Structures are given as C-alpha cells and as structure tokens.
Amino acid sequence: MKFTSVFDIIGPVMIGPSSSHTAGAARIGRVARDLFGKKPTWAKIHLYGSFAETYKGHGTDVAIVGGLLDFDTFDERIKTSFEHAKNAGLEFEIIPEEANKEHPNTARIVMGDDTTEMSVEGISIGGGKIEISEVNGFKLRLTGGLPTILVVHDDRAGCIANVANSLAMHHVNIGHMEVSRIERGQTALMVIEVDQNIDDRILHQISLIPNITKVSKINN
C-alpha cells in the first residue's frame, strides 16, 4: 500500500474517538457549511448506517454540528458544539434513519436560513477523509482536499469551455472536474478542483459569463 504523506498513516489531528465517525463527520459538516456559504440558522442532520447506530458513542452528532459552526477536526469546542450552536442561533435536529445508503457512514444535511435552503450528502471513507456525493440533488464526487469551485449553470453549449478558459487566463490549473445535470437542457453543476486558492475577483468574473447562475468556492 502506497502512502502519499504521513497523514495517510496516522490520520488527522482530531477531537474524538474515531477518525471515521468523528473527524470525518466534522469535515462533512464543515464542507457543507462552506458549500452553503455562511452559517445556517437551522439544520436537519440525517444519519445512516453505522453513523445512525453509533453516533452518540462516537460523537458523530456533536462533530457534524461543530463542522456546521466552522470548527476544525482538532477544535476543542467540538466537545460542546451543541451549547455553541445554541449560543450562535443554530437550531438543529439529529435524525437517525432506519434505511441504509450505499456507504455505511453517510450523513445528509438539510440546512438553511430565512432565504436559502441546501441539501448536502457526504460519506466518511476512513482516516478522516470524506466525499461529498450529492448537493441539491446533483450527484458528484467532492473530496474537499483541494480548493474547489462550484458553478451552477444552464445546460448550454460553451459553458464548460468558457469557465475553463477564464481559469486559464488567470493561470489557475484544474486538477479534477466533474459536470452533473438532473435533466438534459436544464440546470447543471460544475465541480472544479484546482491547485490554488481562488481569489473572489476570479469568481466574480466567472459569474458574469453567460448562462452562469451561481458560483461558490471551498478554499483548502
């Protein structure tokens, strides 16, 4: 087995007893917050498989809530995230589900505020690593390991090329890219992992491209 770094062997610096059930859960919550773009005021956290069976003992619930509050895996405040959520005005509900997903460590977070709602589904694949598998019904594969741009756009010819050309003009290298659509000719989603953090000015320029409806980012 080939390891690319020491962290592949020892796992992440973290609070909690389990890299999969605690650190991974915290990362799912934190990436979900990044995708939402701000602190939600409410969240419904659906847990599946082993997440649903052992979340109290492994602290999966407090970890996801901590992630939604933007706490990193090593943040001591994760232990008391429920209290911090109350103080921050974040109402949440933990919902263990009987139905199983394809992966046993799966969480689906539905969150929002007065104006916006978003659903994010993620899995913890071990060693604190995660994959976001769905955002608002769009199937994707997002690891959160690299800076990432998410582009919601009309499913029209030229959109993908225009976004790629815009990044190339700013010497931004694309490491991985996926495009997902729910229905042909309707709304689509680009997920673009890049090699460096993205300046907001670049995102603004992308947002001005025809048929682009929303642009957001996750910086590493």
Domain extent listing, the chain:
17-136, 148-218
| Greatest extent of the chain over all pairs of C-alpha atoms, in Å | 50
Identical fold at 17-136 and 148-218? no
Domain covering 17-136, topology: 60s Ribosomal Protein L30; Chain: A; (3.30.1330)
Say whether 100 sits in a helix, a strand or coil: coil
Q: Do the Cβ atoms of 140 and 153 come closer than 8 Å?
A: no
pTM for the complete prediction?
Answer: 0.79
Domain spanning 148-218 has what CATH number?
Answer: 3.30.70.260
First-to-final CA distance of the chain? 26
Return the DSSP state at 10: H
Q: What is the pLDDT along the chain (220 residues), one digit of tens a residue?
A: 333 433 333 344 445 445 566 889 999 999 999 888 889 999 999 999 999 999 988 899 999 999 999 999 889 999 999 999 999 999 999 999 998 788 889 999 999 999 999 999 999 988 788 999 999 988 888 877 789 999 999 999 999 999 999 999 999 999 999 998 888 889 999 999 999 988 999 999 999 999 999 898 887 6
From residue 20, alpha-carbon distances to 15, 30, 44, 182 in Å are: 12, 15, 20, 30
